[in-house]
Structure formats: C-alpha cells, structure tokens
Amino acid sequence: MPDAAKALAIPAQFNITEHFIERPAALHPDRIAILGEQEAVSYRELAQLTLRVAVALWRDGVRPGMRVLLVLPDLAEFVAAFFGAARIGAISVPVNPFAMKDDYAHYIRDSGAEFTIVHAVAVAEFSVAAAKAGRSVESVFVGEAADTPRGWKAWREWIAEKAALPENLPSTRATDAAFFLYTSGSGGSPKAAVHRHQDMLVTSHCYAYQVLGIRANDRTYSVSKLYFAYGLGNGSYFPFSVGAATVFDPEKPRPQRAAALLAKYRPTIFFAVPTFYAALLNEGERGLAVDFSSVRLAVSAGERLPPEIFERFKSRFHLEILDGIGSTEMLHMFLSAQPGRARAGSCGVPVPGYGAKIVDESGGPVANGEIGNLLVNGQSAFSEYWGIPKLTARTKLGEWVVTGDKFYADADGYFHYCGRADDMMKVAGMWVAPTEVENALLGHPCVVEAAVVAVIEADGLTRPLAFIVVPPDVAPTPALAGGLKEFVKGRLPHYKCPAEIKFLDALPKTATGKIQRFRLRGDAPIRNVSQ
C-alpha cells in the first residue's frame, strides 16, 4: 500500500487509466481485480479490455475533450469503457442504467455526448431518448438486446479488432477534465460536476489510504453503484489503487442479493447507504441469513446514518458503521468517522487533506453546538458545473465549496448532519432539523422509514409534517398516527413534534438512495392519511 504518511505529490502529467488500470496490471497481472461476474477478471485481462475500448473509440473518431456517455451496470465493461475513454483524453459520463427515457434525454442534451455505450437493459429506453434529443449520437450496445436500433454497433465486434494506440497520442495533464458525474437529483434536475484526472488520486490518498487503510488483500463490495461518485471510488479506483479485488453486482440492490454476495465472496470492506443498512437489518430480523464475519469495515454515506441503525447494526454484527459525508462535487468523503472512534449520530471529523467549517448566513463562524452552513475544501473539488457558470460561481467561493448542508460541531470536534439547507425549518423561532425528528420516529418499532418536511398550517405557522413507511404487517391507521405523535412528544420538545402523520408505500428517493424531500413538499403518492 502507498505510504499514507507522505504528502501527496500530484505530477503535472497524469492519466487515471495509466495509474489505476495499467500500473497494477504491470505490477501483478494475474491478481484478481473483479469478482461477482460469470468469471473473475484479472488485472491483465482488465487492462487488455480497457486498451481495446480506447483503441476502438479512437478509431471511431473520439478525441480529447469529447464526451462519451456510459449507460452500463456494474460490469467489467463499465470499467473498461470509463477508463478506456479517459486513456485517450476523452471525458467519461456514467449515468444510471436503470433510468427512464426522459432522464436519458436530459443526459444526452446536457452533456453534449458524441458517443454512447449502452447496456441491453437500457437500450429500449435510451433509443427513444436519443430520438427525442434530436442529436446524432454514435452508439454501441453491450449484451444481448432484443430490438437493437438500426446503426448501433455490437460490443464484441466493436472491440474485436486488435490494434495499438497512436504513438503521438496527446498526454493528459492532472488538471484536464477526465469525467462528469451527475448529482443525484435529490433537490431537482441532476447537474454534471466536472472532475479532473488528479481528483481520483486525491481521494485515494486521503480517504482510502488514511481512513480505510485499504490494502492489497482487501475485497471491497459496494451496494452503491459505479455511476454514483460514492460507488465509483468504493468499487473501482480505491481497490485498483492497491491491487485489491472488488465484488460487482450488476443488478439493482436487494438485501437478499447482498446477503448472497457477502456469503460467497466474503468481502472485507462493505459500503452502503443508511436505507440499505436498515433494509438488511429488517430482513435479518425476518430470518434472512446475513453474514458480516469477513467484513472488517462497514461504511455508510449518502444520507445521515440514524443512531438507531448504528446501534442495531453494532449489536447484531459487532461492527461499528463508519458514517461519512461526501458529495458529487468533492468526489468522495470529506467528513468521516474513524475506525474505532465512531459515534452514533455523528459523521465524524474532516478526512485528512480536507478542511471543513460551519458558518452563519453572513459567512461568520458559529459556536460549538450551533447549526450553520457547511463549507469544505480539498484538492478533489470539482472544477465546474458543466454549462452552468453562475451556479459554479455561487458554489465555489475561492478555495471553499458550499455544500448546501446544515451542520453543527460538538465540543470534541465531531460533525453532526442536520439536513439540506432547503430542508431545514424554523418553528417557533427555532431551527428544526428534519433528521432529528426522523430519528425519533425511527425509534418506534412500527416505523421502517421516515421523512420530515415543513408544512404551513392554516394560521400561517410552520410545523413539521412526517411521512412514514410501516412494515407490511402493520396497518397505517389514525390510531397508529396518534401513537407516533405521542411517542415523539416523549423524546423531543413540543415544537419539533409532527403536526401531522402521513403514510406512504415508499419514500420517493433518487437512484442512489437519497430521500427526495422536495417531492414530499409537493404531490407524493399517498396510500393512507391520518390527521
């Protein structure tokens, strides 16, 4: 493993494919890089596949700076396509392979992609979107597609021709754009954050080495997918940076599937989001066999980890979940709990190499325990929002990035997430964090999930409104709603207690598991309502 204690030196000329794919293939070609597919993939095989993609893209006219849209599940083809494009200086743009046609139309138009690589699971939706976008985009499909659009190329034939990259291939600088990552859309339309070649090097050095202590004999398994900033590090370049193995699951996340992969491949580092940890615990309590005996580190991000989930998981599996917070804009974690020092309800302290400060509305510092706006800095910060210069200027204030999150720090310097700035509410002149009310509700045995937003009542006053998901065998009755209100009143001040409880079949979420509270403030599908 690289020496984490040494200061990170970023070379002027740097390419992520050379560092994360070609370097480990040269050092240990026969070591396994990817598990979980029909056959394990070695580093030599992964490097060869990546080179073939780079050659094919170059042969088809893709050049430095051009965008290559990737609509692929977690497979070796994703890695080869992502790093193959970066190898020739093109820009990889991975997106959700289980999205809908309107989403794809947005990605095509917004990114200005000139080339697309699409898996069979998405061909039907994507081809409709490509036609609606009104742009000519050259496309390759991976897998077996029943109705492949005319003119599309098949992956196997596309990469079949053996050739070498041109000798005069331009080298990339560390500061050149390497990939776009779209924000999750938890607050509206996804925006593309532009990341440079150096950014993966920074997050590997600061988080993977100095927090996780990742090593060559580790096996990572990330429930969060590769197209998501969190999953991209967990499942690819973190393990690749030290020659470790990663476990891929191309399917949509399910507790039963995760349990099977944990048992079969015995990963040592497990990554998920809070809602998935809750689902695993709930299914485990219903009889699903979940074996974490091989796991040395369990990591959570995406949303704040409720203390209830932290404590239940620790009690059941004897593991502390390392809660952290990162963002698409910063590429990965900037705050994280440290192994052996995790605290329920806190997402830890700044990751080495990152700065964090909490400020008031005028930009001044706040006292310990006081809620304010979180600003962060670090060398992995995005360079811009693609095509949105005004938003970039509002978000990047010199070296600091405005996260849009509300936080407070306790006397020991531990950071506590209170919610998105847009989700905070002021009740009776006091700030109320939706996560605090949600955590109180999650302590009730009849609550599987909870989300809280602000509602303005008839008298013009603001009160919390709670949306609840209950287990299948629990009836969402007015009596239960009343009981939940009384339950919260025994744990929180009266002004923080929900004025109303509504029951939903499921909370609206992004594909990465974040609750879309902006939808709850509008017209969410409601199964049953009690006053």
DSSP 98-111: T--HHHHHHHHHHH
Separation of alpha carbons 526 and 506, rounded Å = 9
How far CA 30 is from CA of 22, 26, 44, 47, in Å, comes to 13, 10, 6, 11
Q: What is the pLDDT of residue 3?
A: 58
CB atoms within 10 A of CB 221: 27
Residue 257: in which H helix or E strand, if any? helix 255-265
CB atoms within 10 A of CB 395: 20
Q: Report CA dihedral (457, 460, 464, 469) to the nearest 10 degrees.
A: 30
Show the DSSP H helices in 361-408 as ranges. Answer: 389-395
Q: Which domains does the chain have, with CATH numbers?
A: 16-194 (3.40.50.980), 424-530 (3.30.300.30)
Q: What is the pLDDT of residue 526?
A: 37
The two three-digit tokens of residue 342, written as one number: 């995790």
Nearest to 76 by CA among 153, 157, 142, 145: 142
Q: What is the pLDDT of residue 429?
A: 62
Task: Give the gyration radius of the chain's Cα atoms.
Answer: 23
Backbone angles phi, psi at 422, to 5 degrees: -70, -20
Report strand pairing: 415-420 vs 384-385.
unpaired
DSSP label at 255?
Answer: H
Mean pLDDT in each 10-residue stretch from start to end of the chain (531 residues)? 68 98 98 91 98 97 97 98 98 95 92 96 92 83 82 93 86 98 73 98 98 98 96 98 97 95 98 91 93 98 88 96 97 97 96 96 93 96 97 96 94 91 71 83 92 76 87 92 93 85 89 76 46 30
Q: What is the pLDDT of residue 531?
A: 30
How far CA 107 is from CA of 77, 177, 386, 391, 419, in Å, comes to 20, 18, 11, 18, 27
Separation of alpha carbons 405 and 184, rounded Å = 15
Nearest to 246 by CA among 214, 198, 275, 276: 214
Separation of alpha carbons 364 and 354, rounded Å = 20
- Residue that has been written with the tokens 């007015």 in this structure: 478
Is residue 405 helix, strand or coil?
strand
Q: What is the pLDDT of residue 7?
A: 72
Report strand pairing: 430-432 vs 449-456.
unpaired
pTM of the full structure: 0.84
How far CA 457 is from CA of 121, 427, 519, in Å, comes to 45, 12, 18
Q: What is the pLDDT of residue 461?
A: 66
The two three-digit tokens of residue 247, written as one number: 């476990």
Separation of alpha carbons 510 and 515, rounded Å = 7
